[in-house]
Amino acid sequence: MLVQDQTDATAFLGDRRTHGGDVVEHIETHISHVFLAHDRAFKMKRAVKLPYVDFSTPELRLKACEREVKLNGPAAPGLYLGVRKIARDRAGRLHFGDGELVEPVVEMVRFDQNALFDRMAMEGRLTARLLSEAARMIARYHHVAPVVHRGSGSANIGAVLAINTAGFGTSQVFEETEVTAVTQRFEAVLREFGPILDRREASGKVRLCHGDLHLRNICLIDGQPRLFDCIEFNDQIATIDTLYDLAFLLMDLWHRGLPQFANLVMNRYLDVSDDEDGFALLPFFMAIRAAVRAHVTATQVAEDASAVHLVSEARSYFELAHALLTKVQPRLIVIGGFSGSGKTTVADALAAELGAPPGARIIESDRVRKAFYGVSAETRLGADAYKPDVSDNVYSEVVRRSLTVLKAGGSVVADAVFDRARNRSLIEVAARAEGIPCEAVWLEASASMLRQRVATRNKGPSDADLSVLAQQLSGEGKPLNWRVVNAEQPVSDIVRDILEPGKVSQASGRIT
């Protein structure tokens, strides 16, 4: 009877007469049915029982619907309207209202499906600005998420891996031998990172998070990125390290072939979250997320024989998980140059190419300085913020934060003017003391080109104007022991010259 009730409820929600004659669009996911009509969306939980979710009775689904509205409301104000009950009258007809409960549904305001970030990604409409705003929004969400202490950080992630193993057991897409191999690799990395996971849990980094933070669960509402559709049915899944929550979005972007955006989101998130102690965990966390998506997709194949097209998708996630578990040698690349030389643009383009996914952490002096004063990167600071003693502190902080990431096994791009020998020596000596090779690059452009760029560039983290550039040009000059790269060529060529020194640049016609 329960199966028939849900079949009847599906027909009821898909019937135009239920919605005043409006056309109904039906969207299915592995655990939900969503019906779109006029200005409303109705989300019905599927009657499934899986290792990580139990929606097997209407009562369980009702509790899940009520919790979904409660948890998602703060992150997406105005989107969630409440829970509606589909009931059966004495004549056996279904209706919204009182009576014998047949099926609960979440009622939401309908938004344009083109505002979903996954649609925007497929159509090439995502931008650096939107993703920067999303990263900061997620950081704010995590900042106020409830801290949960229910065991160690390593045990928390161990539980996630156990759910993964159980999930793989529900499908026939993957061979038992390959599941065993990847499971053993995950367990080995968990043992390696156990101490840092435990320290993060003790410091309050395990919280009741979103839990399902991928592109399809971010949308534009009133021009602002908003999170919705968090995990409401299993606190164990949603009570996780904040960086593991973020890692789903990073993995999703990387899997879609958008590594630059994955790197951007990571950097903008860390700029405001002060969470660099966990940076080295991100490839591991992304690998777990890829494995989750692999077994969830494989489960859909097992449930629907016609979904054979999803086999290759499940395997692509599985292979990404393998790749993300591969060790990558960390690198430190230091980029210096006068204002207008394009350091920040080059750093942004370079970072995704370095180290393990999601790429290198960019430690940018302009952003560090703004953080000192507790203002956004775009806020202009006064002259006092650029006094020599303040700048000395900024460079010291650039070095400290760079070493924190490097010693944990991550890669770094350090971005600052570095026009003073003292500051250049500071990072070179510190890296040498830690046994870390320092690849130092000076971006060089003509004075006229520098002036043109400074005079016309858009508002950003740098406050440098033409007078600041003039001071730089009259100062100590470029370092003699750093590799010089032509900053007037296309950014892609600059990145190639940095990554592959000694190759002839077609744009400049010289060896760099």
Tell me, yes or no, whether 95 and 185 share the same domain.
no
Q: Region 497-512: what's the mean pLDDT?
A: 55
Tell me, yes or no, whether 277 and 227 share the same domain.
yes
Contact 262, 357 (CB under 8 A): yes
User: Domain for residue 510, yes or no?
Assistant: no
User: Domain for residue 511, yes or no?
Assistant: no
Half-sphere exposure of 242 (CA within 13 A, CB side): 28
- Letter for the amino acid at 186? F
Q: How far apart are CA 117 and CA 122, in angstroms?
A: 9
Tell me, yes or no, whether 53 and 138 share the same domain.
no
**pLDDT band of 383, cuts 50, 70, 90:** confident
Give the count of beta carbons closer than 10 Å to the beta carbon of residue 2.
12
Tell me, yes or no, whether 310 and 175 share the same domain.
yes
CATH of the domain at 393: 3.40.50.300
User: Domain for residue 509, yes or no?
Assistant: no
Tell me, yes or no, whether 162 and 219 share the same domain.
yes
**pLDDT band of 458, cuts 50, 70, 90:** confident
Residue 335 clears pLDDT 90, i.e. is over it: yes
Tell me, yes or no, whether 267 and 237 share the same domain.
yes
Contact 261, 170 (CB under 8 A): no
DSSP string for residues in 213-224: -SGGGEEEETTE
User: Domain for residue 512, yes or no?
Assistant: no
The pairing of beta strand 53-54 with beta strand 80-88: unpaired
Q: Residue 52 is encoded by which pair of tokens?
A: 């990580």
Tell me, yes or no, whether 156 and 72 share the same domain.
no
Q: Region 269-291: what's the mean pLDDT?
A: 94
**pLDDT band of 214, cuts 50, 70, 90:** very high
pTM for the full predicted model: 0.89
Q: How far apart are CA 425 and CA 472, in angstroms?
A: 18
121-164 pLDDT tens trace: 999 999 999 999 999 999 999 999 999 999 999 999 999 899 88
- Please report the pLDDT score of residue 505 as a whole number: 40
Residue 511 clears pLDDT 70, i.e. is over it: no
The residue among 184 and 502 whose pLDDT is bigger is: 184
User: Domain for residue 507, yes or no?
Assistant: no
End-to-end CA distance of the chain: 74
Sign of CA dihedral 329, 395, 133, 343: negative
DSSP-derived letter for residue 504 is: B
Nearest to 254 by CA among 229, 227, 290: 290
Question: What's the Cα-to-Cα distance from 247 to each of 148, 215, 280, 282, rounded to whole Å?
Answer: 19, 12, 12, 6
Q: Residue 272 is encoded by which pair of tokens?
A: 């405001």
Q: How many domains does the chain have?
A: 3
Contact 247, 164 (CB under 8 A): no
Tell me, yes or no, whether 36 and 125 share the same domain.
no
- Tokens 């898909």 found at: 14
Contact 79, 72 (CB under 8 A): yes
Residue 413 φ then ψ, to 5°: -115, 115
Query: 110, 141, 157 — which closes off a domain?
Result: 110
Residue 5 clears pLDDT 90, i.e. is over it: no
Tell me, yes or no, whether 350 and 494 share the same domain.
yes
336-373 pLDDT tens trace: 999 999 999 999 999 999 999 999 999 999 999 998 89
CATH of the domain at 125: 3.90.1200.10
Tell me, yes or no, whether 347 and 309 share the same domain.
no
- Tokens 């760099």 found at: 512
Q: How far apart are CA 40 and CA 179, in angstroms?
A: 42
User: Domain for residue 209, yes or no?
Assistant: yes
Question: What's the Cα-to-Cα distance from 498 to each of 9, 341, 355, 486, 487, rounded to whole Å?
Answer: 60, 14, 14, 10, 11
Query: 110, 143, 173 — which closes off a domain?
Result: 110
Nearest to 292 by CA among 189, 159, 193, 145: 159
**pLDDT band of 510, cuts 50, 70, 90:** very low
Domain around 263: 117-324
- Tokens 């559709």 found at: 229
Query: 71, 94, 110 — which closes off a domain?
Result: 110
Residue 166 clears pLDDT 90, i.e. is over it: no
Tell me, yes or no, whether 137 and 261 share the same domain.
yes
- Please report the pLDDT score of residue 309 as a whole number: 78
Tell me, yes or no, whether 22 and 105 share the same domain.
yes
Residue 53 clears pLDDT 90, i.e. is over it: no
- Please report the pLDDT score of residue 1 as a whole number: 47
Residue 507 clears pLDDT 50, i.e. is over it: no
User: Domain for residue 185, yes or no?
Assistant: yes
User: Domain for residue 505, yes or no?
Assistant: no
